Amino acid sequence: MSVFAHPDFDDHEQVIFCHDKASGLKAIIAIHDTRLGPALGGCRMYPYASDDDALRDVLRLSRGMTYKSALAELPLGGGKAVIIGDPHGGKSDALFHAMGDFVDSLGGRYVTAADSGTSVPEMQLMAQRTRHVSGAAPREALDGGMRNGDPSPSTAYGVFLGLREAVRHRLGRDDLSGVRVAIQGVGHVGFDLAQQLTAAGAQLWVTDVYGPNVQRAVDELGASAVRPQDIYGLDVEVFAPCAMGGILNADTLEALRAPVVAGAANNQLATPEIAVELQRRNCLYAPDYAINAGGIIDVCYERTGGSPAQIRAHVERIAPTLALIFERAAAEGLPTSVIADRLARERLRGPVHA
């Protein structure tokens, strides 16, 4: 299939297929839109079942980054990179050096960062070959002290605030004490979110395809472990997807019982029609690129300069943005995803405020 005829091609400016025989690198970089600034988006590593699955993911993710930055009022465009490979056993210095070379060849049109399957060490390797990488150097933490360049704490903080706003809107509760939350994926962002939810008094059920992540949540937070296939049907108030995309589909919706969906994963809806079905079922969906924008806000300030207090204040704007989306959706009888897209396009055409 031609890239231009692909159902997820959305007037992307550039799609680059990257192959380095020596390291075994196979990757795709997609630049969706650079009207507001350079296309910034993470570099994901995942063992895709096919090249077409990888292409579909990178096309959808890069478009989502355009809307995420616009909705968060950042001077950035949208892009994404995916590496086809096993993040637990397929990494090498040479592979990420080669990926850095490909990023560098774009001359700053695309700026990369950590994503699912990659973290600070991989960003440091890429930074040896290109300056167009974020999240590779130590920085001041939001709550004081120092941290590495990983922006996931800011992502998790924004998701926590957005989840709390969704609970307030759908359940009429101003606190999370006793609220039951099912978290799908307890990696960097998911575990940080779980910590914040535990501190707020929520009860947690967790799952992850990587067993040690689940055990850590059980041991350190007292969470209850469940099998991956059982996470959807739990009798909880909130389902928080924090792993891969496409998990809200016709099959999983049949099992889903939670009245709120609010999590960190990108591209949670398998198709746009799923949003209509969620609305029909009176299930409040927090649009993924609205609620998980904390990381891109963090990375933006790393590039432009700004204090932890400024980053925190900008991340905290996620909650009122979601409140506006929820209120408009209720008033107009439309899915929250439709309203989020409309609001992102409005902001894409207007001035941004970093």
Considering the domain architecture, whether residues 122 and 172 belong to the same structural domain is answered as: no
In the prediction, which pLDDT does 349 show? Answer: 79
- Flag whether pLDDT at 352 surpasses 70: no
Instruction: Judge whether 142 lies within some domain.
Output: no
Question: Would you say residue 249 lies in a domain?
Answer: yes
Residue 144 in this model has a pLDDT that exceeds 80: no
Same domain (yes/no): 185, 114: no
Quote the domain boundaries for residue 339. 152-349
- Give the tokens for residue 279: 């609305």
Section 163-189 average pLDDT? 97
Domain shared by 23 and 110, yes or no: yes
CA distances from 212 to 117, 188, 264 (A): 15, 13, 20
94: domain CATH number is 3.40.50.10860
- List, for residues 33-43, the tens digit of each pLDDT value: 999 999 999 99
* Residue 67 pLDDT: 95
Neighbours of 67 (CB within 10 A): 24
Longest dimension (CA), the chain: 57
Count of beta carbons in the 10 Å neighbourhood of residue 229: 10
Alpha-carbon span 162 to 284, nearest angstrom: 12
205 and 108 co-located in one domain: no
Mean pLDDT across the stretch 249-277?
Answer: 95
Q: What's the gap between Cα 9 and its chain centre?
A: 20
Could you tell me if residue 44 is inside a domain? yes
From the CA atom positions of the chain, what is the Rg in Å? 19
91 flagged as catalytic: no
H-state helical runs in the chain: 51-71, 93-104, 120-127, 152-171, 188-199, 211-221, 250-255, 272-280, 288-291, 294-304, 308-315, 318-332, 336-349
pLDDT of residue 353: 46
Whether residue 160 sits in one domain with residue 305: yes
| 302 is a domain residue | yes
| Cα dihedral sign, 351-77-155-288 | positive
The whole-angstrom separation of Cα 320 and Cα 324 is 6
Structural domain includes residue 146: no
151 φ, ψ to 5°? -85, 0
- Do 213 and 270 belong to one domain? yes
Is 147 inside any structural domain? no
125 and 190 in one domain? no
- Residue 143 belongs to some domain of the structure: no
Return the residue matching tokens 């007037």.
Answer: 11
Kindly state whether residue 116 falls inside one of the protein's structural domains.
Answer: yes
Q: Determine the straight-line distance between the first and last CA of the chain, rounded to whole angstroms.
A: 39
34 and 108 share a domain?
A: yes
Catalytic residue among 26, 68, 80, 91: 80
Residues near 69 by beta carbon (within 8 Å), at least 6 away in sequence: 36, 37, 40, 76, 77, 78, 293, 296, 300
pLDDT category at 313 given cuts 50, 70, 90 is very high
Q: Please check whether residues 170 and 266 belong to one and the same domain.
A: yes
Q: Which of 87, 104, 137 is the last residue of a domain?
A: 137
Query: What pLDDT, on the 0 to 100 scale, is given for residue 146?
Result: 75
* CATH number for the domain harbouring residue 188: 3.40.50.720
pLDDT confidence bin for 1, thresholds 50/70/90: low
Domain co-membership, 241 together with 290:
yes
| Last-in-domain residue among 137, 166, 191 | 137
- Mean pLDDT rounded to a whole number for the chain: 94
131 and 162 belong to one structural domain: no
Share of the chain above pLDDT 90, in %: 86
Of the candidates 137, 162, 178, which is a domain's last residue?
A: 137
Task: Name which of 106-115, 145-154, 267-276 the model is least confident about.
Answer: 145-154
Which of the four pLDDT bands, split at 50, 70 and 90, describes residue 249? very high
Q: How far apart are CA 179 and CA 175, in angstroms?
A: 8
Neighbour count for residue 313 (Cβ, 10 Å): 12
Q: What is the pLDDT of residues 208-223, one digit of tens each?
A: 998 999 999 999 999 9
Instruction: Please state the domain count of the chain.
Output: 2
Between CA 48 and CA 184 the distance in angstroms is 19
pTM: 0.88
202-206, 239-243, 285-289, 348-352: range with lowest mean pLDDT: 348-352
- Above 90 in pLDDT, residue 46? yes
Q: Do 127 and 222 share a domain, yes or no?
A: no
